[in-house]
Amino acid sequence: MIKLFTALCCVLFWVSTGEAQAPFYQGKTVSIIVGTKAGDAFDLYARLLAQYMPKYIPGSPNIIVQNMAGAASLIAANHVYNVAKPDGLTVGAFFPSLYLDQVIGRQEVQFDWSKFIWIGSPVASNHLLYMRADAPYKSIGDLVKASEPAKCGASGTTATAYFVPKLLDEVIGTKFSIVTGYQSGSDVDLAIERGEVICSARTITAFFAREPFHTWRKTGFVRVLMQTGKKRESRLKDVPTIYEVMDQHKSPEPARRLATLVLAAGDFGRPYLLPPKTPADRVNILRQAFEKTIKDKAVLADAEKKNLEIDPNFSDELEKLAKEVVDQPPDIVGRMRQMLGM
């Protein structure tokens, strides 16, 4: 009887110890909340990570992608910050320019950009402005001299498609009319094909990663008028940068400071974030898994096949940048509010 009791205790101790040592993520599901529709570049990157990242997380959890499009991904950001449990099982992936809404004090913002917990970003991404090739505007100079504004489409005020043309209005005096309210970038693409609008802006990554841009480039359906990097991208050698355009039009220093703030979105790239108060051990697990995944040769090969660039930023860089962009002097905030229609 004593032997049986002793054996039973040993079994119970072994089971309890095994359970205690089982990885937190074992048997669990991690959700990546993507603030765009399926098929968008944000979605494509998230699905790439969801495929390869589980093997670098102890316990090998299932990772799924959930699309929560709307309001230029503001809905997704508010959800991750306020609704999702801070347990390491919900990751956000949404527009990196959402900090602009916070800076200008938009009421719909229900988060503090600097208090998200940053995992990393697979790519930093500059932007470009494109126009239907049959439109009368052949250069940025034509847009400055235009008697009627060019009509662009955007999903919301912090979408690339909105803030890039509005920034040009502010820093060099172009004239754009922007139609907002489209649910996603793909809806704007359809609007351009239908002729509802004639221009928009995207990240350079998206422009070279997905349809309809592959077809548009082949058929000459659109022309690119400007890019936002400090130097010309190798695939856009004939397209001036915004800095060249500002030099040409002698933009004053306050305008250049505004441009620096707005274009910081490109440094965030396509970030992955966690809700505040996520336990530190789970944060570290996900950060390490992201770094290992993004350096995996199979991931790099698959990304190249899918035309997805990999040029990562990691948590420390993003965390520092997030604190910098939300701390702005009143004059810059005032110009930003004017630019975004407040």
Q: Is the separation of the CB atoms in 77 and 260 below 8 Å? A: no
Q: Is the separation of the CB atoms in 340 and 165 below 8 Å? A: no
Closest CA to 66 of 87, 95, 90: 90
What residue ranges in 188-312 does DSSP mark as E strands?
199-203, 222-227, 272-274
Q: Could you tell me whether strands 313-314 and 117-121 are parallel, antiparallel, or unpaired per DSSP bridges?
A: antiparallel
Which domains are present in the chain? 26-124+269-339 (3.40.190.150), 127-265 (3.40.190.10)
pTM of the full predicted structure? 0.79
Helices marked H in the chain: 2-21, 41-52, 74-82, 99-103, 140-145, 160-172, 185-194, 204-207, 213-219, 242-248, 253-263, 265-268, 280-295, 297-305, 315-325, 330-339
- Distances 2 to 5, 14, 78 between C-alpha atoms, Å: 5, 18, 59
pLDDT at 72: 86
pLDDT at 183: 84
> Residues 210-232: pLDDT tens digits?
899 999 999 999 999 999 988 89
- Distances 128 to 19, 41, 233, 263 between C-alpha atoms, Å: 52, 15, 10, 11
> Residues 169-212: pLDDT tens digits?
999 999 999 999 898 888 999 999 999 999 999 999 899 988 99
Which residue type does 290 have? F
Q: Could you tell me the mean pLDDT of each successive run of 10 residues in the chain, 342 residues long?
A: 49 45 91 94 95 98 96 94 98 94 93 97 93 96 94 89 93 94 90 97 92 96 94 93 95 90 90 98 98 97 94 94 92 88 71
- C-alpha–C-alpha distance, residues 313 and 119, integer Å: 9
* Chain centroid offset of residue 178 CA: 21
DSSP summary character for residue 229: S
* Chain centroid offset of residue 155 CA: 14
DSSP summary character for residue 149: -
